[in-house]
Every structure is written in C-alpha cells, then in structure tokens.
Structure 1
Amino acid sequence: MTEPGFTADVYQNEYLPEGGRVVDAVVTVTAASGGFVGRTSAASSAQVIIIDTSGSMAYPPTKLTNAKKATLAAVHALHDGVPFAIVSGDSMARMVYPTREGMEAASPATRARAENAVRRLSASGGTAMSTWLKLAERLFAENGRSVAERGDGHGADVNHAILLTDGQNGEPASRLTDVLGLCEGKFVCDSRGVGTDWRATELRQIASALLGSADGLESPEQLPDVFQALTERAMGKEIARVSLRLWTPAGSTVRFVKQVFPHIEDLTGRRTAVSDRIGDYPTGAWGAESRDYHVSIEVEPDAVGEEILAARVSLVAGERTLVQKLVLARWTDDTALSTRLSPHVAHYTGQADLAAAIQEGMAARAAGDDEVATAKLGAAVRLAAASGRDDTAKLLRKVVDVVDEESGTVRLKRTPDAVDAEIVDVRSTVTRRVRGS
C-alpha cells in the first residue's frame, strides 16, 4: 500500500524479553519529486514575509539594509501567480505591500511595486510578535475566502510565512502562546533571528507550533540567501497537510511520537483521534525530502514465542495512504536477541538527550545557575563527542572551555558572545542521521 515515489524503512529490535512491554522503532520516510500520483507540479502556495522593523533594527544599519534585500530576494523567488504579502512588525503589525490588508499575485508589476514599498521601510518602536502572526493568519484566511468567492478553489495548499526578528518579544508570554494556538494548522512559519538580542526559545516556540524551522544568523549579510532558500523550498512542496498515522492494538499505549530528523519535534501531544486505536500526527507539507520518526509503544506482554503487530505506521494525505510500514513485537527467552540494540533507536535517543542537555544548560546559564549549567553543558559536550556531532561540539566550545571531552568536564566562559549563545540553543534540535545510513 505505497504510492509510487514514496518509500519507508523500519529500524527496530522486535525481540522483547519475557514480560517486556516497550517497543521502539525508527521509521524513515522518503518522498521523491513528483511522488504524489496525479500531481505533475508543486502544490499551490501563498506567502507572507514578516520583517521586524523595531527601533533596534537600525543599529547597526546593516540589519535593516539586509532585511530589505532578503525580503526582495524572497519576492523574486516566488513563482508567478503566487499570492504574497509583506508585513512590517514593531509594537504592532502593518501592511507594507499591498498597502491594504490582503495579498497580491506575484508578477513583474507587483514585484516592482513591492520593491518600492520595501525600500521605504524604516525602524522604530518595540516588539510584539503576536500582532505580526495574527495579521499573517488574517491574510491567509482572507486569501482563501477570496479564492472561494471567485470560484477558483479553496485557497493555497501551502500557506508559508517567514518571520525575522532581532529582539525578544516585549509582550506577556501568554499572548504569544494564545496567538500561536490560533495560527496552528493554518500556516507554516520559518523563524529567523539576526543581531544579538533575539531569543532561541521564542524562535523555537514559533517554529514548533507552526511546523517550521528556527535558526539564528551569525551575520545580517546572510539574510538574502536564507530568505531565497526558504522561499524556494516552500515553492517546491508538492503535498500539503500530510499526517503520520499510527494504529496500535487494543490495550497498548503510545508513549511518544517524535520527528527525529532533520530536527527533533515532539508530536505526541498533537494527536488527532481517527478512532480509539488510530491517531494522526501533523507533519506539514512535503516536497522531495526524507524524514525520520521515532515511535514508542507500550504493549500488553504475550507468551515467549508469540509475535504481534505492535503498530502500523502510515503517511497519509487526507484519507489517501502514501506509504505504510509495520512495527512488530516478538517475545523471546534468548537474551542475546532481546538485549540487542537497534543502532537507529540508540542514535536518536542519544540525539534527544543531547538536545535536552543543551537546552537545560543554556536555560540554567541564563538564570545564573552556574552549577547546573556547567553540569548540563558538560554532559552535552560528552554526548556530542560520543555521537560524532562535531558541528555541535564546535558550537558548544563557544560557550564553554572544554577541559576533558570524554568525561564532559568543562568551564563556563564568563562572557560568551550573545549571538553564539543563542545559536547554540536554537540549533540544539538539529540532528544527524546514523553514520553510514
């Protein structure tokens, strides 16, 4: 039961000891370009570009200058006909292009008008991200209504936003959380930080709720290439509103469902019940790409020698199954079999531990708890070395001095660069695949 263009593999040790209950498996799903039968082109798209224009964006001026260049790079990467809008954000959200609250289809004429509007942007005011996202939600909703009223369909398949900020949100945390709940499932948002005052936790919160990505930039000069790449990736999506569907047997419990590559995202709490034994977990839109998921199920133990179907894992678009794989459980009294580790499961468990150690360490450091920060970041250094994560180890050395990598003995740097600290935090969820996989 697989659509051409989609493949999946299951990595697990299906053997459990007598009385064993926990079944872990990593499922790798790969989609080739044009994989969805009946589609010969990318899904229809709409895009909103949100640029922080608070007062701090003027210092140094390279931030706003490159933010403007990046916005225009994104606009020029849009396919003709794609509805788009540009929003500036400070203590409130304002339309840059078009000037009315709405979207325009990309064309040579609208790109030129957008360019003129963007060049006039200036920086002032504070930072209220909830207002920026709320305006984006209204724009996507209005575009859908306009398309329906014209009789052209149901709106864009993929609603995509890019949010750029150089500072931390100035609102109560609950306000951003509430607006993210309003926006969830309505559009995807990639969040990016530039400068020295943005917060990794806020960018990750936005990206997590809206199924996008989060990252920080070492230099404003990187912005145009980043915005162009994000837009091109959005334009390449072929299937929207895809879910990971999990069937489990009666009496079992889903311990967790996580995306573990290309970054860690816990989907467990986002289950939509299809039936008592079937749940859907949102994965957003897909293009030509590959992702890994770690599913963990607690099952009722059976007799030695028995085998059961512990889970049926599918990727679905609506009710159409794109690919499906089975996760098995077999009970044995052979300890050589039941104690064998799946390299993929062990690898991603370690990656999750590494991400948690970094985030907890950075949070302790920000709170002034040097003892906990040292212990957690030392553990992160040790885990990064053990898993071959040279990229993460290099980042960690920007916030700690490593005394002994193998034991995780470190000293906190007294005055690490603010950008380095946030980049270490925001990239903590980025993962690598098993070596040689």
Structure 2
Amino acid sequence: MAVFTAEVFQNEFLPAGGTDVHAIVTVTGSDVGSARTASGGVAEIIMIDTSGSMNGRNLDAAKHAAQVAVDQIVDGTWFAIIGGSHVAQRLFPYPNAPRDMVQMEPAARAEAKRAITTLLPSGGTAMSTWLALADRLFATVPHASQRHAILLTDGKNESEPRAALSAVVRQVTGHFQCDARGVGASWQVDELREISTALLGTVDLIASPEDIAADFQALVQQSMSKGVADAELRVWAPQGAQVLFVRQVSPTVEELTARRTEVNPLTGAYPTGSWGDESRDYHVAVRVASKPVGTEQLAARVQLAVGGQVLTSGLVKARWSDDDALTARLSPEVAHYTGQAELASVIQEGLAAKAAGDEATATVKLGRAVQLAQQTGNEEATSRLRRVVEIDDPDQGTVRLRRNTDRLDEMALDTASTKTTRVRR
C-alpha cells in the first residue's frame, strides 16, 4: 500500500508588520511502486523522429533504443510506436490493425520490434503532429489513467510555425506526461522544454547516438515503476491570504503557480503527475495579513491528494515576534532552494543573451549563476558552467565568456539548468 508523508521546513517567526511566509514542503512516497495501477491501467507511447536529418547513425541508434525500450514495457501495458516527420505515422500497431493501441505480450513485443526496423528517414519536422497523434491514441484507452510518452528528435521544429506547436501543447496538456530528448547539437532546447514542462516531463541532451538506448531504458523503467497515476498538491490558505507561488524545487525546478485549479474558495490544486518511490520538495509562499506581536496563525495547509483523497498533510505556520534573533533567522531550506530557482533562471537568461550576441548581459547572468552554484553547493552546475565561462572568482561571480565554446556544452548547461541539489540536513 502506498504511503505518503509530508515535512515542513520554515522559519515561522515574522517581525512586526511581516506578511510573507515561505516554507519548503518535502513529500515522500514509499511502497508506491507496489501499488502500481492494475493491469490495463497503464499506457506507453514512444515517438521517434524519422525526418531526413535522422539518416545514418542517429536513426540506427534510435531504432535500437526503441527496441530496448519496448523490452522494458511490462506485459499488460497498452502501447504504441509513432514515427514522426512533418507528419506522424502510427508505426505499431500496424496501420491496418483494428486497435490503435494494444496490450504488451510476447507476440506484440516481437512484432513491435520488427516494425521498428522498417523506419526510414524522410521529410521535415512538425512535432505538433506527433503529439496530436499520441493524444488521439491515448484517448482510445480511457481506462488507462497512467499515460506516459517519450519523444526523441535531432532537429528543429522547422516544418510548422512555433505557434502551431504551442497550440497543440496546450491542447494535450493534462492528457499525458512526456519526457523529451534531443540527440546531437541541432535541436532547440526551448522547443523541447516547452513540451516537457507543459506535460510534466523532463528534457535532456543525448550528446551521442550511442547513448540513446541507455536513456530510453531508464525512462521506461522509471515509467513502469510508477504506482500512482496522477497526484495533486493542494494548498489551503486562510480567508484574505494570497498564495504568491507554488513551485517544485527538487529534483528539478518546475513552476506550478499558473497551473492552479480551484478545489474550493480557499484551496487550490497543482498537478504533480505520476509518482513512484521518491521524494520531492516544494516551495510554497503565502502572503497573510499582518497580526500583532505574539499572535500565531496557520498560514497554509499543504496536502498531497490522489483521486480526491488526501494522503498526507503539512502545516505552514506564522508567529509574529519582536525578537530579532528569531525573526532574522533564515530557513536553510528556503535559502537553498531560492538560490537554486534563481540559478536555473539566470543560466537560461545568460545563454539566451549569449546567443543573441549580448555579451555584457551574458557575462553578468552567467557570473551570477557561478556565484549561486557556489553558494548552494551545486558542483554539477559549476562544472558545466566552467565549459562556457572562465571563472576568476566564484564567490563574487566574476567570469569571462569563453570563445568558440562547443554548442553541446552550452546545450548541456541549458538542459541541466533546472536540476537541483538537495539541501544538506
């Protein structure tokens, strides 16, 4: 049976006149994998770029990776394979099959792997058609509450306007989750990030085609280990209070504020997608009316709910004090993740400025990123930043842009910008 717990980390003391309450809420799920959705309640789709640019090593490696992924899909899972160029094609089940998705079993696995070998490169790239087809296929198994897709491309979405892709992303949001991967250096990080962010997935760079299979294997294994199909974070705040923001801050930074749906006049729900045995951290900020010194108030109640049932809850408190020793104390968890969220933002802004030729802004932003990585102990980010800038003083954020940097190094920094380190407790 799945068990969820919630822990709240904050400094609940506010000075006289203080209004803003910040807390990090850690939600942990255990024995979640054992509660995996019953047979028939899980669906998986693999989308492979088959445009002309994939010809050669990329497509050969992608075929192998897709076959490896198929081997990881648990029997009983509904699945399909899509080949995508400027149009989308259902590769398996075969186009003349009576069903749009079939349940995994040995014969279906063998036929799917054979179908993958027939992929041929041609045409351009219009990822909206891939997502739209995946959405239609998932809709044919409405009883499958857990729906996950993988999307792989090697190039830009060049065969349609960006607005067309964005429109379809909005249409399919909330219907399924999608992890997006780009192989090589010719794809656009912001395009795949738009897809993965909206569809509660991840985006990452696969620098070498030979690495696709290991990545696909891990993604499908992770998907198959999920035991809760869809959960939501609920935040209650008292009458007159304002929820300033809700964001996931570990294992990655994900802004959830704009995704709020109303549960009741005082409670909003924020989607978190499917869960396995894992722990995630959320930063919740609430503005309440100031109260007299000595007053205590419940500022927020943070809950994880599945299917409308609340499984765990944590309380965010506010206490007004005139003791500077109490009110000046900064929660290490809040400080750490505030820095991590800013780190993600300044990396992306710095790289965008660099690409636009604005070296002054790029130097300032990436210098701030170096400083934040140093302060929060994010050694992985520091290592990636060193490949893009020369670091003179990490504590002050003094850097110089490297000349002739490898685009793969910049893409690796960009895609990893939202990955955070856990606070040391």
Amino acid in the other structure paired with 1:69 = H
1:277 & 1:405 partners in 2: Cα distance? Answer: 44
- Structure 2: give runs of 5+ residues left out of the alignment: none
SS at match of 1:295: strand
* 1:89 corresponding residue in structure 2: 84
* 1:338 corresponding residue in structure 2: 327
SS at match of 2:140: helix
Aligned: 1:12 with 2:7: no
* 1:64 corresponding residue in structure 2: 59
Asked if 2 retains the 8 angstrom alpha-carbon contact of 1:203 and 1:426, the reply is: no
1:120-269 maps to which residues of 2 (within 5 A)?
Answer: 120-144=118-142, 155-170=143-158, 171-269=160-258
Deviation at 1:195, TM superposition (A): 0.9
Deviation at 1:143, TM superposition (A): 2.3
1:395 & 1:186 partners in 2: Cα distance? Answer: 34
Deviation at 1:40, TM superposition (A): 6.8
Does 13-22 or 233-242 show the bigger shift?
233-242
- Decide whether aligned partners of structure 1 residues 353 and 376 sit closer, same or farther in structure 2, where only a CA change above 3 A counts: same
Deviation at 1:117, TM superposition (A): 1.2
Deviations 1:92-124 (A, max 9, x none): 111111122711211111111111111121212
1:180 & 1:35 partners in 2: Cα distance? Answer: 29
Sequence identity (%)? 51
1:393 & 1:419 partners in 2: Cα distance? Answer: 16
Aligned: 1:378 with 2:367: yes
Does 400-409 or 77-86 show the bigger shift?
400-409
Asked if 1 retains the 8 angstrom alpha-carbon contact of 2:347 and 2:365, the reply is: yes
* 2:273 corresponding residue in structure 1: 284
Deviation at 1:405, TM superposition (A): 2.1
Deviations 1:298-354 (A, max 9, x none): 001111000000000000012211100110000000011001000000000000111
1:79 & 1:406 partners in 2: Cα distance? Answer: 49
| Correspondent of 1:74 among 44, 69, 74 | 69
| Correspondent of 1:391 among 366, 371, 380 | 380
Amino acid in the other structure paired with 1:164 = L
Asked if 2 retains the 8 angstrom alpha-carbon contact of 1:42 and 1:236, the reply is: no
Asked if 1 retains the 8 angstrom alpha-carbon contact of 2:37 and 2:146, the reply is: no
* 2:263 corresponding residue in structure 1: 274
* 1:321 corresponding residue in structure 2: 310
2:145 & 2:4 partners in 1: Cα distance? Answer: 20
Deviation at 1:297, TM superposition (A): 0.2
- Decide whether aligned partners of structure 1 residues 413 and 281 sit closer, same or farther in structure 2, where only a CA change above 3 A counts: same
- Structure 1 length-normalised TM: 0.93
2:422 & 2:93 partners in 1: Cα distance? Answer: 43
Aligned: 1:355 with 2:344: yes
1:4 & 1:172 partners in 2: Cα distance? Answer: 44
1:330 & 1:110 partners in 2: Cα distance? Answer: 61
- Structure 2 length-normalised TM: 0.96
* 1:52 corresponding residue in structure 2: 49
1:308 & 1:363 partners in 2: Cα distance? Answer: 43
Deviations 1:387-417 (A, max 9, x none): 2111111111121222222222222222211
Deviation at 1:203, TM superposition (A): 1.6
Amino acid in the other structure paired with 1:384 = A
Report the RMSD for the aligned CA atoms in angstroms.
Answer: 1.5
Asked if 2 retains the 8 angstrom alpha-carbon contact of 1:200 and 1:423, the reply is: no
Does 72-81 or 405-414 show the bigger shift?
405-414
- Decide whether aligned partners of structure 1 residues 76 and 40 sit closer, same or farther in structure 2, where only a CA change above 3 A counts: closer
Deviations 1:161-193 (A, max 9, x none): 000011121121211111111111110000011
Asked if 2 retains the 8 angstrom alpha-carbon contact of 1:354 and 1:383, the reply is: yes
2:294 & 2:249 partners in 1: Cα distance? Answer: 32
Does 261-270 or 62-71 show the bigger shift?
62-71
Aligned length: 420
| Correspondent of 2:410 among 409, 417, 421 | 421
- Decide whether aligned partners of structure 1 residues 143 and 42 sit closer, same or farther in structure 2, where only a CA change above 3 A counts: closer
2:398 & 2:189 partners in 1: Cα distance? Answer: 25
